[in-house]
Amino acid sequence: SSSLPASSSLPARSANISSADYILQMTDNGSGNNEPPKKKKCIDRRQALITTIRAKGKESYSRAIGEDKKAPWKQVFLDPDNCVVYIDGWPQDIQKPIDSNQQLNFKLLPIRQLRAIADGFENETIQFKIK
Please state the rounded mean pLDDT for residues 8-22.
51
CA–CA separation, 123 vs 131, rounded Å? 21
Please state the rounded mean pLDDT for residues 81-107.
79
Please state the rounded mean pLDDT for residues 97-126.
86
* Band of pLDDT at residue 131, cut at 50, 70 and 90: confident
Longest Cα–Cα distance in the chain: 62
- Say if residues 9 and 30 touch (Cβ distance below 8 Å): no
Residue 31 has pLDDT above 50, yes or no: no
Structure confidence at residue 99 (pLDDT): 58
Residue 25 has a CB neighbour count (10 Å cut-off) of 15
pLDDT in tens, 41-85: 777 889 999 999 989 988 998 888 887 666 666 666 666 677 778
Top pLDDT among 36 and 102 is at: 102
Top pLDDT among 20 and 40 is at: 40
* Band of pLDDT at residue 9, cut at 50, 70 and 90: very low
- Say if residues 45 and 106 touch (Cβ distance below 8 Å): no
Please state the rounded mean pLDDT for residues 93-107.
75
Q: Residues 42, 45, 49, 50: is their CA dihedral positive or negative?
A: positive
Mean pLDDT of the chain: 74
